[in-house]
Amino acid sequence: MRKTLILKVDCENPDGEKIDLAAEAIRRGGLVAFPTETVYGLGADALNPKAVREIYAVKMRPPDNPIIVHIAVKDDVYRLAESVPRYAERLMDLFWPGPLTLVLKASGIVPKVTTGGLDTVAIRMPKHKVALALIKASETPIAAPSANLAGRPSPTVAEHVIQDLYGRIDVIIDAGPTSIGVESTVLDLTSDPPQILRPGGATYEDLRKALGKVDIHPSALAKSELPIERARSPGMKHKHYAPKAEMILVEGDFSLIVGKIMELAEHYAKAGRKVGVLATDESAPNYKVGVIKSLGNRRDLSLAAKNLFKTLREFDEEGVDLIIAEGLPQEGLGLAIMNRLRRAAGYNIITLG
């Protein structure tokens, strides 16, 4: 077991000495979990292949699932990418710092282990004072996937990182809950038109406004497992976001969803299952059976995104063995939420209406 140092810092005004301690660990080739505005990341020096290999080992992450490189100054894009199309600069101006990851042709300085063997690199600048301070103090770009064990729901508070990785990494920086709660949008700029490989914090609608035309990779919208060409969207083929409990997602017409979930909850509870219902404020009073948890008001998708992973982990903590989840509208952040719910359910989906 490794000694894990937990550093509590203020999210708006992080203590420079603590950031320096964490940055030293990064420079030495160590692993540091840190908050971003999306989820907590597990960081290592992106240019140190040995350090990045440790990320895969500790997370038990499949070796072909590449890692996003986090930067604090735009100039670093020109070192990490071989070429930067003009519209990439426009996107950086509009969306950075923020939850948009750009996939570009990688330069020679990016180790193959960071890109999962691909010739592209995924880069983003997080909108979080602690993350930016850590990257600057480390004086190197930081490769960071979500700071959870592979396959588990992503961490949105430091406690989740402690659950999954305590004793396996060097430092955990705790700056409270993350503000967005789902990961960044991954946008591939090596295809024309640009293509969303993973929906996330930057919405399709906003990207379309900025670019005119944007595609969405079919796997990002899929309701069942698709055969994925490895070269394009490697992360999409792996198990992801899953609670320990089995999960059924009921999506479609809201007026039909509630009745169906009431029926399923009763059926499975009678069969002896410990049922959990992932509900919303509007529907929660209807459910009488099982552990009921609400993601918030159906119209407030940013609150639902913020609550999503935390709530999935809470069901596990309460020993629920079957989660029945309500689908949400697929607009705005709802696209990312539905992508995570479908995958968390292992595509165990009932569509109504």
Question: Which one of residues 32, 51, 91, 103 is an interface residue with ligand AMP (CB under 6 A)?
Answer: 103
Closest distance of CB 154 from Mg ion, Å = 5
Closest CA to 158 of 168, 167, 149, 166: 166
Options 26-34, 63-71, 173-181, 328-336: segment touching ligand AMP (CB under 6 A): 63-71
- Give me the residue whose beta carbon is nearest to ligand AMP: 235
Residue with tokens 């986090």: 70
Cβ contact 65:143 at 8 Å: no
| 120: contact with ligand AMP by CB under 6 A | yes
Which residues from 208-267 bind ligand AMP, rule CB under 6 A? 233-235
Residue 147 binds ligand AMP, judged by CB under 6 A: no
65 binds, among Mg ion, ligand AMP, none (CB under 5 to 8 A by kind): ligand AMP
- Rounded-to-integer distance, Cα 125 and Cα 36, Å: 10
Q: Is 118 in the site for ligand AMP (CB under 6 A)?
A: yes
Q: How far apart are CA 327 and CA 321, in angstroms?
A: 19
User: Would you list the DSSP string of 169-206?
Assistant: SSEEEE----SS-S-PEEEETTSSS-EEEE--SS-HHH
Q: Which does 98 bind (CB under 5 to 8 A by kind): ligand AMP, Mg ion, none?
A: none
Provide, rounded to whole angstroms, the least separation between the CB of residue 186 and ligand AMP.
Answer: 5
**How many whole angstroms separate alpha carbon 172 and alpha carbon 8?**
8
Tell me if 36 contacts ligand AMP by CB under 6 A.
no
Q: Which of 48, 101, 140, 146 binds Mg ion (CB under 5 A)?
A: 146
Treating both helix axes as pointing N-terminal to C-terminal, what angle do 334-344 and 301-317 enclose, rounded to 10 degrees? 20
Number of residues lying near Mg ion (CB under 5 A): 1
Whole-angstrom distance, CA of residue 142 vs CA of residue 235: 19
201 binds, among Mg ion, ligand AMP, none (CB under 5 to 8 A by kind): none
- Per-residue DSSP letters for 118-132? -SEEEEE----HHHH
Answer for the pair 7, 18: CB distance below 8 angstroms, yes or no.
yes
Q: Which two tokens stand for residue 125?
A: 């600048």
Binding site for ligand AMP (CB under 6 A): 65-66, 68, 103, 115, 118, 120-122, 145-146, 183, 186, 197-198, 233-235
Binding site for Mg ion (CB under 5 A): 146
